[in-house]
Structures are given as structure tokens and as C-alpha cells.
A and B are shown apart, each in its own frame.
Chain A
Amino acid sequence: MRHRGLETDGIAPYLFLAPLLVLLVLFILYPVTMNLLASFTEWKGYGPQKWIGLSNYEKMFQDQAFWTSLLNTGIFVLYIPIGTAFTLFVAALMRESIAGWKTYRAILYIPNLLGYVIMGVIFSIYLRDDGILNALIRWVTGAPVHFLIDPVLAVNSIGLILVVWLHLGFGIIYFLAAMNGIEKSIYEAAIIDGANFWKTFTNVTVPSIRFAVEFFVVFNFIEVFARMFSFIYTLTQGGPGYSTFTLEYGIFAQGFQKFQAGYASAWSMVLFVFCAVISTVQIRLMQRRDA
């Protein structure tokens, strides 16, 4: 991106941008703005809207499902450092060109390929009380683990699978590419100095790819706050009860299952604030990296 004097390309750039901008205004900007208005109304999602002031927000703050959604999101966030550290560790092992690493990398990428809907349904079968994982567990302990029936286990299963497990393949490719950019001589010097794997991992590898690590963390925040719906919809459908709700799932449940779109819009505004913060952090990171 460069500026050559004050000369501009006139109207042409705006014409080139027009298709994108029209779509963005219609499908993102306008919806976000209308959500704000809708959050002050009683509305089914169709038909008339009735202005009710802050009632939706008052109702939301007394709604146990809303607080559960926030708490669950907090639990998922706690899995982010675990997932990031684990992914970095596995990528660093693969960087040592261990035998078969390309095959491992390809297999671990499969979940990223299949997407949240297929993976959600796959895990809904896999984690059932009479599923294959429990067939193995019963073999060892004699009793099944109620992964999707016990509320606490269900939330943590989602956190572990979505945040730590499903992005492993994506993170490995991403980190390996970043690690490729590290000067080989730094490693050689470290090894001559007698540094072992752990020393080079903590002193060379991780500090050298700090930007990549930061972006991976932000990427995970985006997944947790803004991309989880399809997985929860297919794995637990928010249940048992509302114990695996997130803000996204709550919006779906209130807006499209109970037809309380006005109320769902109040939830949307809370989600909007979180996402605006994450988006700003991401832009700051980009500007700092490109500076």
C-alpha cells in the first residue's frame, strides 16, 4: 500500500469497491444498526414492532440462561491458553522433522476440513452414553461417562473439543509456516550452546513467532464468541436445558425458536460489544505487525 503524491485514481476505486460495499451495508451494517433499534421493541421477527424501552435488557439481566451463556463463554476462553500452548508444542515437535510429520499434519487437519456441522454430528455420535468412546471407557472402568448429559461435562467437552482439538491441524500448519521464517543459524547457535528441545522451544521458537501466537489467540477468541453456533447446534443443541448456551445460541433460541426477536436483539447487542472489542484488538495487532 503506497501513496504516490496526492494524485488519486478518481472515481474508479469506488466503482471497484461498490459490489463489496453494497453487500456489506445490506447484510452487515444495516442489520447491526437495526438490531440496536429492535432491542428496544417487542417483536416476533416479523409483523409489527412495539417500543418497550429497556424492558428487554431488564429481562435479560434477570435471565439465568443469559448468565449461563456468559459463564460458558468464560469457560471456553479458559481453554484458549491451553489450546495455544498445546498447538505450539505439537508444531515445535513437528518442526524437528520427526518421521511421518507430513502425514500427521494432514490427518490432524481433517476436522478443519469437514467443518463444524459435520464434526458436531460426528461428536454427538461419538460421545453418546452408548457411543464408541463409552464402549472403550466401560471396558476399563465398567461405567460410562455422561459427556453430553452432565451439564458441567457437556460444557467442558465442548471447550476441549472445539478450542483445543478441532483447531490443532489448522494451528500446526499456521505455526509451522511462522517457524519456517526463523533463522536456522539461531537454532544452530542454541544447539552448540547445549540447549535442549525445551530450552530452544521457550527461548527461541515461541519468542520468534510472537505475532503468530498473538494472532492465533485472537483467532480463537473469534471462534469462541462468533463461530461456535453450528457446532453447538449439532452437538448439544444448547442442552441439557440451557447448560451449553452461548450468546450466539441464545439469540437463535430466543429469536428463531421462541419468536422473541426483540429480546434476542438485546442479547445481540451484548455480543456486538464483545465482538467490537475483539475486532479492534485484531486491527491493532495487524497495524503493529505491519508498522
Chain B
Amino acid sequence: MKKSSVFGPGAQITVQALMVVLVLASLLPLYNVVSSSFKSIDEFTVNPLWPPQKVVPDNYQYAAFSASLLQFTVNSIVYVPAAVVFYLAVCISAGYAFGKMRFALRLPLFLLVLFLSIFPQLLLATQVFKLISGLGLTNTGLGAVLSWVAYFAPFGTYIMTTYFAEMPYELVEAARIDGAGPLRILTKIMAPLAKPMTATIAIIGFQAMWNELPFSLLILQTQELRTLTVGIAMMRGEFGLRVPILSAALVIAMVVPLGIFLLFQRYITLGVTAGAVKG
């Protein structure tokens, strides 16, 4: 995509300078965390700004083992993908119903799903906690997974609905003439055709649930069950004064989100533009 620039040479330099300032402003807090994570407490006190003069790995050892971040990472790596699988099943099946099936309550139910999709988690938290306790699911991964899927599924459903709605109806009709039932049409024909958008909502759902705090905080109360995100949020209070350890913890917590970004950048871009709005 190129054409002659509207900017003259002077303007180009100004624009580049602005971009460099934005990028530096974006990277400075991250540099701060990475650089602090390799400093001893003593060095950090006298040298908060410059890179470490002596690189120490102790903060990582402390964060990973003594502060259990490794355990929390494993917890997240178990719960979140399990939740994503469940989330995909719910969103694909509901999205197909809204996008391609005909039934009397289609519009009112779809509007209800849209309407409910923005309510803040704190608005629901007291009652969700009561419900989870009532079901005997406090301090279980299942309790957290159910609450995440329920909360994030409306937006995923909305995206799948718009995607299915734009697929040609002839696909459904042809399969029906061949004698396929609704479940068969969805699983054998329509869902495989929706793979790109499925990958997109899988990434959106993964990120949303990986970063989720309020429900996990309330449902997973015992230390051994915490997710990485809860662990980081709690460390903020516990290690508020020991910046190098907290920094090491942050670097550990950044590994998975950054890895996902590098691997699936294309789907992330799609995800931003898939729904007109983020859920």
C-alpha cells in the first residue's frame, strides 16, 4: 500500500519523532520492570534508573518458587485452555443458532445476549460468589471456569453470529437436502468453514480469561489454586516494597501473553476488528 506521501521532508521528521516518543513512552515502564528484575535490593535503592551493574537471578528464583509463581502459571495453563474449549463449544453452537437458524425468539434472545454482555463483573460478584458456594464449587477450577465462560461467552457468541450470518444459506440447504440433521450440518459443514473466526475468538477468549481477576479472586481463595493473574495482583500487596522481586514476577507473567502475541498476531488483529466493539 504505497502512494506519494502527503508529508514533506520536514513533516516526516516531525511525525517520526512523535512515533519514537510514543514508542519510548510505551517501552520505558517495561524496561523499568525488566531492568529492576535483575538488580539486588541494594543496587535498586541506589540505581533505580540505569541497567543493573551486576545481574542477579535471585529475584526470579524467589518469585518462581518462594512466591509460588511457577505453581500459579501451571494453574493458569490448566484452567484457561480448558475454559477456552468449553467457551468455543458454547459460542459456536449459540452463534450458529443466532446466525443461521430460524426461530420465533431469535431477535429478542439475541438482543438479550447483547444487552447482558457489558455488565461489570463487580456488579455480579456478590451473587456469583453466593451461587458458586451454593453449588459447592468454591475453591475449584470448575467454579472459576464456569464463571469465566458465562461472563465472556456473550461477546464470543456475538462475533460467531455475525460470521455465520454472512455465510451463504445455500450451504445449509444443500446439506439438508442430503438428509443431514442440524447437529450434523453444524459440526460437519458450518463449523469447519468458520475456522478462521473460531481461531480469532479462541485468542480473544484466552486473553480475556488469562487476564481475568475479580471472579478468580473470589472463587479461588486457597493459595495453591490461584491463577497467575490473581497471584500477581496479590503480590502487589505482599511485596509492595520489594520492587526487584515484584518485577521478576511481572516478567514471568508476561511470557505467555507475549508468546501468544508473537505466535498469533494475525488473529489478534482480526480479533480487534471482528466485533465492532470489544466485550
- Chain A residues in the interface with B (C-beta under 8 A): 1-4, 7-10, 12-14, 16-17, 19-21, 23-24, 26-32, 34-35, 38, 45-46, 90, 93, 96-101, 104, 106-111, 113-118, 120-126, 128, 130-133, 135-136, 168, 170, 173-174, 177-178, 184, 188, 191, 196-197, 200, 211-212, 215, 218-219, 222, 225-227, 229-230, 233-234, 237, 248-249, 251-252, 255-256, 261, 264-265, 268, 271-272, 275-276, 278-280, 282-283, 285-286, 289
Contact = CB atoms under 8 A, between A and B. Distances in A.
A99 B104 CA distance: 53
Contact of B7 (A3, A110, A128, A197): A197
Contacts of A3: 102
| Majority-rule SS of A interface residues | helix
A19 B246 contact: no
A133 B25 CA distance: 10
Given A135-B49, A177-B272, A16 B126 contact: no
A118 B232 contact: yes
Given A19-B90, A233-B233, A219 B277 contact: yes
Given A8-B102, A16-B101, A122-B250, A264 B126 contact: yes
Given A9-B101, A28-B116, A174-B273, A19 B93 contact: yes
Interface string B197-217: 000000000010011011000
A61 to B, nearest CB: 19
B124 A256 contact: no
7 contacts: A3-B102, A20-B154, A28-B119, A28-B151, A110-B261, A229-B213, A283-B111
Contact of A282 (B5, B118, B125): B118
B23 to A, nearest CB: 5
B186 interface: yes
Contacts of B236: 120-121, 124, 234
Contact of B210 (A115, A196, A226, A289): A115
Contacts of A27: 124, 128, 131, 146-147, 150-151
Contacts of B3: 97, 184, 188
Interface in B106-129: 106, 109, 111-129
Contacts of A212: 276
B23 A107 contact: yes
A192 to B, nearest CB: 12
B60 to A, nearest CB: 16
B233 A117 contact: yes
Contacts of B29: 122-123, 125-126, 132
B207 to A, nearest CB: 7
A214 B233 CA distance: 33
Interface string B240-255: 1001001100100110
Contacts, number: 316
Q: Closest 9 interchain pairs by CB?
A: A115-B211, A31-B127, A27-B150, A226-B120, A23-B150, A16-B97, A20-B94, A13-B101, A12-B182
Contacts of A28: 116, 119, 124, 150-151
Contacts of B237: 237
B76 to A, nearest CB: 12
Contacts of B141: none
Contacts of A98: 5, 7, 12, 15-16, 19
B123 A121 contact: no
A112 B276 CA distance: 17
| Majority-rule SS of B interface residues | helix
Interface in B132-186: 133, 146-147, 149-151, 153-154, 157, 165, 169, 181-183, 186
Contacts of B98: 1, 17
Nearest to A7: B102
Contacts of B222: none
B149 A200 contact: no
A131 B32 CA distance: 9
A108 B122 contact: no
Nearest to B153: A20
B263 interface: no
A24 B246 contact: no
